Amino acid sequence: MTAMFEINTLLVGLLLVDFVLLGASRLGTSVRQVAAQGALLSLLTLAEHAGWGAPWRVWLLALGSGVVKAVVFPYFLRRALREADVRREMAPYVGFTASVLVGVAALAASLWLASRLPLPGPVPSPLLVPVSLFTVLVGMFLLVSRRKALTQVVGYLVVENGVFCFGLALPEDAPLPVEVGILLDIFAAVFIMGIMIYQISREFDDIDTGRLTSLRDEAS
Amino acid sequence: MGAFLAALGLVVAGGVASLLTGRRWRSRVAVAGIAAGSLCGLLAALRVLAGAATVALHVPWRVPYGSFSLAIDPLSALFLAPLFVLAPAAAVYGGRYLEEEHGGGAIGGVWLFTSLLIVGIAVVFTARNGVLFLLAWEVMSVAAYFLVTFEHHRDEVREAGWTYLVATHLGTAFLIAMFLLMARAGGSLDFDRMRLGQASPALAGLLFGLAVVGFGTKAGLVPFHVWLPEAHPAAPSHVSALMSGVMIKAGIYGLLRVLLLLPPPPAWWGWLLVAMGLVSGVGGVLYALAQHDLKRLLAYHSVENIGIITLGLGVGLVGAHAGLPLVALAGFAGALLHVLNHALFKGLLFLGAGAVAHAAGTRDLDHLGGLGKRMPWTGAAFLIGSAAISGLPPLNGFVSEFLIYLGAAAAALTGRGATLAAAVAGGAGLALIGGLALACFTKAFGSVFLGDPRSPHAAHAVEVAAALRLPMAALAAACVAIGLGAPLVLTGMTGVLAQLAQGFGLPAPDAQIATLRSALAWVALASLTLLAAVALAVLARRFLLRGRTVTAAPTWGCGYAAPTARMQYTASSFAQPLVDLFRPVLRTAAFGTPPSGAFPGPASFASATPDPVDRGLYRPLFAGAAALFGRLRWVQHGRIQLYLLYLVATLLILLLWKVR
Amino acid sequence: MIAALVLVPAFAGVLALLLRRDRLRRALLVATALTHLGLVAAVWRATPAAPPTAWLRLDPVGTLVLGVTSVLFAVAAIYAVGYLAHEVRAPRPDMEEDALFANGPEAVFTACLLFFLATMTLVTVSQNLGVLWVAVEATTLASAPLIFFHRHHRSLEATWKYLLICSVGIAVALLGNFFLAFAASFGPAGSGSLVLNELIAGAPGLHVRWLKAAFVLLLVGYGTKMGLAPLHTWLPDAHAEAPSVVSALLSGALLNCAFLGIVRAYQVLSAAGQGRFAGDLLIDIGLFSMALAAVFIVAQPDFKRLLAYSSVEHMGILAVGMGLGGGAVFGALLHLVNHSLAKGMLFLLAGNILAAYRSKSTAGVRGVGAALPVTAALWVAGLLAITGSPPFGPFLSELVIVKGAIDQGHPVATVLFLLFLAAAFVGMARPMLTMVQGEPLASLPPSGRDRWLAVAPPAALGLAVLLLGLWVPSWLNDVLRAAARVVGGGS
Amino acid sequence: MNWAPLLLYLAAIALAPLLGGVIAKTKAFFAGRTGAPLLQGYFDLAKLLRKGAVYSATTSWVFRAGPVLSIGAVAVALALVPMGGTPAPLAFPGDFLVLAYLLALARFFTVIAALDTGSAFEGMGASREAQFSALAEPGLVLCFFALARNADALSLSAGLGALSPGAWRSHAAVLALVAAALFIVFLAENARIPVDDPTTHLELTMIHEVMVLDHGGPDLALIEAASWLKLWVLGALVVGVVVPVRTGVPVMDGGVFVAAMLLLGVAVGVVESAMARLRLLRVPQLLVASGVLAALATVLISG
């Protein structure tokens, strides 16, 4: 039961982080929150695998992803933030309050969706599927509604976190090379995105993606 | 079959060799290849027409659903014959023409495409597999495109080529659908193994409709003809001759070939073809009347003649359905003979038009005139072509129209209801077409070759080289020969007619062919009598004028003493009464400043008759699509957030809609 | 053997980063490409034996995509040598704006090309859907720097969009993978394994709803990468802004790899008896892609974008063919080959034209026929090929697909398919022909002539696509048949 | 050998100029004039045949070919016409088409000969001729169709031969339609009032006469002869329909036929005296009407 309790606690934490992300206007906050999410996920991995008694490969993965997501990514993103000298998400396409309301709707949708999808057997927690779906949705919402390139990377990370979280619900783990591969991919992706943000800020003096609209077919 | 394959090989070899050889030999090699190949091909075709058994070749071909099946049956041979007659004529002409116009220099792949065009047409006429047919069809169409755009530095040529390319491609799409549907219902794309006899009426009707659109586009039937009056004038004249003379016949061939594969035709197919033939015939000749450009005029006449051919086919189908073998046979025989005849006289006329354009530097009828004295050979050949296309005895155009008329008249003898209506409409339509064609070609010939030159260009024209005259002379001779030797030609068509009779469920047509042959023999007799009477009149006139004073003077100007060449009746004014009469159809736009006041200043007048189908149907359609697309292009606005939203929305919609 | 296929280009890529001399590096690029091609030829001749549940294994479909990728890469590598040799190093004025820009380091470019090859090879040999996912995402990462080779703001924008949209798409595909694993864990022997053959073997026991949802996720995920509308949004930007040799690889090789991801999912669904569900979905999205592509192809002012949208159209064709099943699968696979060859050729030629005219605008290019005769001839041939005119290969493959549609009683799909093909033809032919014809504009004198290294590679592709229209060789036919059988298109 | 057709043919050639004389005399009678002698046509021919020729410097051989081709074509056309119930010398299925197109051939060459002069007036006449004859053509062909359908035979000789006074009794309406249509074509093709006025003196209003302004001497003689023959050809058709008298004696039939032809001349004269020329713009309506009448007749005949 304790595992269940821990897992639930961590999931609720994840949920709260999602809501904070929806309402956060400062880029720094977003980066911090996504780091927190990474840390929570790493703990969740351990918790799901019977805590301290988890096999070594789980430990390896949990620690690896924890380090990457909670330490390395925030480091990249902060550096990019410093380069770009931007603090706030200005005038998002959907306001912060509205975003939170959308979050509520998304949560409801996730719960409904999860209820429609039967689970094959015992899962660590009934909350796991809805929360992971919710996290994916929140990530996508951030991607769609925010202007700054950095926030979009955050959104991407949140989506990945959601998917990762969903993966925890699987009765059987993905094989180690695949897990490592996934982690490496995401690592490389964020690394390259960081470089791109740096380039964008140099080229445009800003990382507002609203500037990135010169390639289009709309008759101007 | 060996001769035929040799023909294909020689023609292609000539085309390829011309790419590889030096400037001086470029045209000669290709012309030699085409001439030699055509000779082989003609032999192969004539052998079958003379009664030899159908030759076939079937080689497996590692292409999905394809097989390399060729066969020359009488129908194929009948279409091959004009190809291999016209091709060498056009090639000899073209060799010299290109040399004079372009100095043999920058002619690029023109010969390669010419030979591909010829080979493409030949394979279309002989292919017995859908994939092979489509392949050849497209090689033919695309080669023609490159020939049409040969002078692509001119804007209007590019535009014309473009129209042609789109039209032919859209037409092909219908053919693809048709062949694949046939394959589904008939079990194979090999014509010989296709079993469509049991196809339901709805399916057969659909296939027929697809064939009419697809093949009608190539043939130039109204309303699918819009490319034709654009492309033919744009191409070099020997190419126009080939395209108009043979390539558009591929549409007729295809229609016939498919009709032979389909179940026995219901009545409405015949009526539809009669109606489309009439519309194309009358429409084509009317638009021809309103044109000022000689080659454009000829192009519209191709629409007209395709209409006549289709009318003949329609009469044939009506007869076949009504159980009137004579009607059917006369209709088919007329249509097929007209295919041959049109190839000859339209080829001749396009070559003549090319000679005129080359010598006078313009094709505008209102700037020509008086060329008959400057270019007597071209003038005489063009006159024979004009008389032939107007369907006048003793030339070949009359013979084929005579057969179609005879079919319609025979249908009018005993037909009832719709058959009778088709017969009456066919007869009256042919008569009207004939009358209007006469008006149009007296206009064309008169304003180009007769009277005084209307411009300095025309005044300084000189007769073209022998290599240009020779093909024209040969074609003119062929027009006369077929006109007088029609019974023999009909004998050569016995095999085709038997094939068609069998295909449409008619009894063996020996009796009908005998009837038609005897009628044609009478016609030939009448023609010979005519020649004798004319010869007599010539002798009488010569006799009467012998020793009398024959003087030259200015034309009687009804008292006006100082007429100028510009006061002659122009082509526009000649056609004006008819154009005016048919204004509701033609919608000719006139613009200019009329003379006014007691001492009028300079005045001007110009008129233009753009194609109504093009202007009223296709252009708005395409413009509308373009406008709609322009609005839809908003979708790609450059904002990444919305792009991601598409992704999310697609995902959610698919999940909610599809996953239940 | 299979490992060597992946590792050779990967190590070569690392080596390329270390090499200092440009010429040596270019030689390495070509040598690696040819070695890879040789290896592929070897595995094509004799498929290396591997247990059916091995993660890395070559099945006929993989072999086919691998072969296409390798051929195209070899051609592109040779082209790239000429391209890199003629690229100006120093900052130079942008052709659309006045700003200066420079190229990225050539070493990185070459290395990324090789990594790109390695990752694409990995995609084709992956039999574990998880590995497949990793490989597909890796292709994105390897190719992003390639798109950003010309360092100006448009390529930056294109790269950003490519990276972000594809990454998000791939993330969705990962979720799809997990869904699939969920579906697999229901059965009695439910293992949750993502090895393709195990999934197929246990397919009847898969949970249908999870399975369907998984397919939708995988379709949207890999479909993003493949460029199916409306997920294609990154594609025209990336293809238009990348160096043409990269565009050729993106369009001719990368899109196929993404398609392979969808094919794998389709195999599972077919085995689970849900082939019709997946097929209908593929037909719908395929037709939609063709329609949308046609909208942008008509009156497209930028010829590289034109080619890019044509890729969207052809991906739609692949989806439709695959979705129709039966004989059309063969057509779709054949079309995959044809499209890659033809589109690769066209993009390389577009590179030649771009280099000579310094303009991507169809209105700014005239008289290519006079300035670059060989390029022009090939360009027109490519146009005919890509629009499905005989005697080129795409005609046959499209014919087979239409035949499949007709034979299986999809009248609406048939009509729409032909309609969109016609619209695309109309849209592409006009600008592409106008570019070739006429006299070169006086204001924009073309700089340069046909170079051997610039025309031989596309000419080779053109010859191949022409031959495929006249004769499908037996070695290819056999693999195509086997692949069609694997995917579930019997016959 | 049956000599009757050949004799009738020769008689027609001999009498054709007389028909013109009859028309002129009738008109003179109505106008209260004495008029030219009945044989004026012969006098004109004789005069013209004795003259030399003047050719415009603009013209070419086409101009000279016009008259000979016209007379040749019309002479052969005459051989296709059955007269007085006797089959024509040339009678075969579809002969009526040859007849129609021989007339067209004559017209073709008359028109281009006119255009060869380069005169605006002759061009105008040629233009009108081409217009009106094109519109008259359907009527003529449909009349032939109607006759063929009535006789269930494809030759003109059989078509006209099948008519008899009895036929007029049984379906007068249909035959009247055919006769009316043929009569209109007859007037139009021969440039008679109400389509054209052969005696007008203003070139601007002429059709046929203005086309031959530049011809003279033997050429004009040929043209005149051709136009009289053409009048006879088409007149014989009208007479064949309207007066299908069959006595059984060839000489009697021939006599009745010739008499009817002369009466036709009187009728034309009456029409020309009673009517004015139509406005040129109204002529097409008349010609279309003839086509419609003929079409109606064809459809009404029960096959």
Lowest mean pLDDT among A122-136, C372-386, D170-184, D224-238: A122-136
| Contact (Cβ atoms closer than 8 angstroms) between residue D128 and residue D207 | yes
Size of interface B-C (CB pairs under 8 A): 162
Note the pLDDT of residue C199.
87
Q: Which of C131, C160, C207 has the CB atom closest to A181's CB atom?
A: C131
8 A C-beta contact, residue A155 and residue A77? no
Contacts of A182 in chain C (CB under 8 A): 130, 133-134, 137, 174
Question: Does the beta-carbon distance from A169 to C185 stay under 8 Å?
Answer: no
Minimum CA–CA partner of C404 in chain B? B180
Flag whether pLDDT at A195 surpasses 50.
Answer: yes
Using DSSP, state whether B606 is helix, strand or coil.
strand
Q: Measure the CA–CA gap between B196 and B203, rounded to whole angstroms.
A: 10
Q: Which residues of chain B are within 8 Å of residue A209 when distances are taken between CB atoms? A: 639-641
Q: What is the mean pLDDT of residues B191-209?
A: 91
Largest CA distance in chain D: 60
What whole-number distance in Å separates Cα of residue B336 and Cα of residue B501?
Answer: 13
CA-nearest residue to C397 within chain B is B64
Q: Which of B630, B639, B640 sits opposite A219 (nearest CB)?
A: B630
Q: Which of D47, D140, D141, D211 to mutate to test the interface with B (most CBs of B within 10 A)?
A: D141
Of the listed ranges B186-190, B372-376, D208-212, the least confidently predicted one is D208-212
Q: What is the pLDDT of residue A119?
A: 76
Is A217 within 8 Å of B644 when comparing Cβ atoms?
no
Residue B464: DSSP 8-state: P
Nearest to B173 among C168, C422, C434 (CB): C422
Tell me the H-state helices in C46-125: 60-86, 106-125
**What is this model's ipTM?**
0.91
Q: Which of D51, D145, D206 to mutate to test the interface with B (most CBs of B within 10 A)?
A: D145
Strands B589-591 and C100-103: unpaired
Quote the DSSP letter at residue C479: H
pLDDT digits (tens, 9 = 90+) for C197-233: 888 888 888 888 889 999 999 999 999 999 998 999 9
Residue whose pair of structure tokens reads 């040999």 in the numeric block? C125
Q: What is the pLDDT of residue B154?
A: 86
Confidence (pTM): 0.93
Instruction: Quote the CA–CA distance of A40 and A161 in Å, as a whole number.
Output: 10
Q: Which chain C residue is nearest to residue B150, measuring alpha carbons?
A: C437
Determine contact: B581 vs chain A, CB below 8 A.
Answer: no
Torsions phi, psi for B129 (to 5 deg): -140, 140
Query: What's the mean pLDDT in C366-371?
Result: 86
Number of structural domains found in chain A: 1
B654 touches chain A (CB under 8 A): no
Cis amide leading into B264 (omega within 30): no
Mean pLDDT of chain C: 90
Segment B418-463, tens digit of pLDDT: 899 999 999 999 999 999 999 999 999 999 999 899 988 888 999 9
> Across the strands, what pairs with B69?
B58
Q: Which residues of A touch B637 (CB under 8 A)?
A: 213, 216, 218
Instruction: Please tell me which residue, A192 or A5, carries the higher pLDDT value.
Output: A192
Cis peptide before B223 (omega within 30 of 0): yes
What are the structural domain ranges in chain B?
1-197+225-259, 264-540+577-588, 612-658
Q: Which domain holds residue A161?
A: 2-206
| In-domain check, residue A59 | yes
B59 burial level (CB within 10 Å; 0-12, 13-18, 19+): exposed
B75-118 tens-digit pLDDT: 999 999 999 999 999 999 998 988 888 765 566 688 999 999 99
pLDDT greater than 80 at residue D130: yes
Residue D82 reports pLDDT greater than 60:
yes
Extended strands (E) in B460-564 = 550-553
Closest A-chain CA to B632: A218
The span from the CA of B578 to the CA of A8, in Å, is: 93
Angstrom distances, CA of residue B513 to CA of B334, B405, B488: 12, 15, 12
Chain D touching partners, 3 or more CB pairs below 8 A: B
pLDDT tens profile B500-509? 999 998 998 9
Contacts of D112 in chain B (CB under 8 A): 383, 442, 445-446, 450
- pLDDT tens-digit map of B122-134: 999 999 999 999 9
Cα C216 from chain centroid (whole Å): 21
For residue C377, list chain B residues with Cβ-Cβ distance below 8 A.
109
Largest CA distance in chain C: 75
What confidence category does residue B602 fall into, taking pLDDT thresholds of 50, 70 and 90?
A: confident
Cβ of A137 under 8 Å from any chain C Cβ? no
Would you state the pLDDT for residue B594?
Answer: 82
Judged by DSSP in three states, A218 sits in coil
> Residue C491: is its pLDDT beyond 50?
no
Q: How much is the pLDDT for C192?
A: 66
- The confidence score (pLDDT) of residue B72 equals 95
**Tens of pLDDT along A165-185?**
888 887 777 777 788 888 888
Binding-face residues of B in 398-427 toward D, CB within 8 A = 398, 402, 405-406, 408-410, 412-416, 420-421, 423-424, 427
pLDDT at A1: 43
Per the prediction, chain B carries an average pLDDT of 91
Residue D223: its chain B contacts at CB < 8 A? none
Contact check, Cβ <8 Å, B176/C298: no
CB pairs under 8 A between B and D: 290
- Token code pair at residue D78: 């005459």
Paired sense of beta strands D53-56 and B550-553, if any: parallel
Question: Which residue of B631, B632, B641 to mutate against A (max A Cβ within 10 Å)?
Answer: B641
- pLDDT at position D101 over 50: yes
The H or E element spanning position C241 is helix C234-241
Residues 150-169, chain A: which have Cβ within 8 Å of C?
A: 152-153, 156, 159-160, 162-163, 166-167, 169
* Stretch B300-309: mean pLDDT: 96
**In this complex, which of B414, B450, B565 lies closest to D303 when CB atoms are compared?**
B414
Chain B residues whose CB is inside 8 A of the A144 CB are: 641-642, 644-645, 648
* D152 Cα to chain B: minimum distance (Å): 5
Nearest-neighbour CA in chain A from B656: distance (Å): 10
CA distance D270 to chain B (A): 30
Is the pLDDT at C48 greater than 90? The verdict is no
Burial class, D91, CB count within 10 angstroms (exposed 0-12 / middle 13-18 / buried 19+): buried
Q: Give the pLDDT band of residue C422 (cuts 50, 70, 90).
A: very high
Q: Do D153 and B413 touch (CB under 8 A)?
A: yes
Separation between Cα atoms, residue B131 and residue B69, nearest integer Å:
10
Size of interface A-B (CB pairs under 8 A): 38
Nearest Cα to C255, choosing from C325, C176, C347?
Answer: C347
Domains of chain D: which residue ranges? 4-300
Q: How is residue D105 written in tokens? A: 């051939």
Which pLDDT does position D259 carry in this prediction? Answer: 93
Interface test with D, best of B558, B564, B579, B583 (most D CBs within 10 A): B558
CB contact under 8 A, A182 and C133: yes
What is the pLDDT averaged over residues A102-109?
92
User: What is the predicted pLDDT for the residue at C79?
Assistant: 95
pLDDT, residue C189, reads: 57
- Give the pLDDT band (50/70/90) at residue D279: confident
Q: Give pLDDT, residue C187.
A: 65
Which amino acid belongs to residue B378?
A: T
| Contact between chains at D154 and B424 (C-beta distance less than 8 A) | no
Q: Is the pLDDT of residue A49 over 80?
A: no
